[in-house]
Amino acid sequence: MRKIFSDLITTGFILLMVLVLISGISVLLGFEKPENIEGGDPHDMTGFAYGNWAATLLSIGIFSFFVLSFLTPLKKQNWRTLGIYEAFIIALFSEMYGFPLTIYVLSSLFGVTLSFGHAQGHLLGVLLSTAGVMSMEAAWAFVMVTSSAVIFLGLFLMSKGWSAIHSSNGELVTEGIYRYVRHPQYLGLIVITVGLLIQWPTIITLAMWPVLVVMYYRLAKKEEKEAIEAFGERYEEYKRHTPMFFPSIKNLYINNIGYNKQMNDKYVPALRFGMLTQLYDPVMKLTVPEDKIKNSLVQQANIGKDKRILDLGCGTATLTILIKKFHPDTEVIGLDADPKILEIARSKVSASGFDIALDTGMAFELPYPDQYFDRVFSSLMIHHLASDNKKRTFKEVFRVLKPGGELHVADFGKPQNVIMYAISLVMRRLEETEDNIKGLLPEMFHNAGFVQINETARYMSIFGTISLYRAVKPE
């Protein structure tokens, strides 16, 4: 009975998160305005949107009921830890719908200009908009989509962990979600609170969150002592091979996607997974200042007449077509290893009416003769390569460039501020970006033989700092 009840609660939460995701995506695609969704006047994002204590109580009740259904306290310490979570939830929703204490403090003490519209209560969105990363509408949608996805992940972890424990009949659980982390339910709860902080950070909840994490960490350590007493060496062995809270991203690929060392010489789809390839262009438009980056990259190359150009890792051929558009008398060739994305590229090239060749091949095994190109471009491809393949690629580029030829790269670079550094902590775990983020690309260019190496520009994106580079092959 309790399992059915918990399943119903989980289903309700899933539906809620899906609705929020749809709302956020509708704003990203331009179908809706955030003030309409938030309940304000259609032409006003600043109207007063607080004092709704009924919504406050309802939200507190829903989130409290959800956690109690999965983490029913059995001991005094469990109740104490749950009390910290309850205080966090009460503080959060009291400000989200009741009294905007954080906005008053920021406005009064620090002179920050903030309205009392609900859309501007999403302070991370305000920060992204003020920093010039994206418009307020896009920032609002990004915050809503991101926070909903994070909350959904936390929900998934809690429900999977609870189901595994519920069906174990008191035996040690080491399979399923417990194969990756030892405490998925506590991790899920912490992840949910992170999602809530992304959506609506407040002074009180930001101060309380570390306390909440420490309390659940201590509770997990205490439960592990009890597990060792109950299961002995079996749990010790499980503990040695399974992380407490944070699974290895690469281990997830190894276990679920078949990723292994032998696959280093195979291409990685543009959005990591082939099924997402069709979404590449709209995702880039929404998340990266693509037009600015690619226009700057073409302009800095100073392409003359009658040149031969290679767009390395051309993807959907956006940059390839742009080069040809700016320099119609040049010979432009695009190369990519992914046949699916080349299908999209060929369709775009055909629609453009330009004469552009698109080849299939690997960046570190270029199918071209020595000294064949005057310029080689690469836009947001290098970070897909492991370190060794980055080095091999730059040597190959050096080989196919004519003396005096130039390499022009746009890719992730060393973070330029605190916001970009925080994003880089996530990105370095999801992609082969470690070399980029450490600022090692110029050194790799040099080791391949290039000279006059410069970082020419930096741009902020929601994925981190994107740097533009220029390197020259000696005469």
Tell me, yes or no, whether 340 and 414 share the same domain: yes
Residue scoring higher pLDDT (337 or 280):
337
DSSP 3-state of 182: coil
- CA-nearest of 460, 425, 426, 458 to 441 is 458
pLDDT of residue 40: 43
Q: How many domains does the chain divide into?
A: 2
Tell me, yes or no, whether 241 and 303 share the same domain: no
Length of the chain: 475
Contact of 53 with 98, CB cutoff 8 Å: yes
- Within-domain flag for 154: yes
- Within-domain flag for 253: no
Q: Worst-scoring range by mean pLDDT, 210-219, 367-376, 402-411, 425-434?
A: 425-434
- Within-domain flag for 216: yes
Tell me, yes or no, whether 281 and 222 share the same domain: no
Domain housing 178: 2-247
pLDDT of residue 447: 95
Strand order in the sheet with 308-312: 357-360, 331-336, 308-312, 373-379, 401-412, 466-472, 451-459
pLDDT tens string 177-236: 888 889 988 898 899 999 999 988 989 999 999 998 998 898 899 889 989 988 888 898
Tell me, yes or no, whether 146 and 287 share the same domain: no
- Please check the confidence at residue 129 and state whether its pLDDT lies above 60: yes
pLDDT of residue 418: 75
- Within-domain flag for 266: no
Tell me, yes or no, whether 189 and 79 share the same domain: yes
- Please check the confidence at residue 68 and state whether its pLDDT lies above 60: yes
Tell me, yes or no, whether 208 and 317 share the same domain: no
* pTM as predicted: 0.55
Contact of 269 with 341, CB cutoff 8 Å: yes
Tell me, yes or no, whether 159 and 284 share the same domain: no
Question: Residue 269 burial by CB count (10 A; 0-12/13-18/19+): exposed, middle or buried?
Answer: middle
Tell me, yes or no, whether 355 and 406 share the same domain: yes
Tell me, yes or no, whether 445 and 302 share the same domain: yes
Tell me, yes or no, whether 16 and 114 share the same domain: yes
The mean pLDDT of 300-314, rounded to a whole number, is: 91
What angle in degrees, to the nearest 10, is found between the helix axes of 136-166 and 53-70?
Answer: 30
| Strand 373-379 versus strand 357-360 pairing type | unpaired
pLDDT of residue 12: 54
Tell me, yes or no, whether 203 and 333 share the same domain: no
User: Residue 439 maps to which CATH number?
Assistant: 3.40.50.150
- Within-domain flag for 261: no
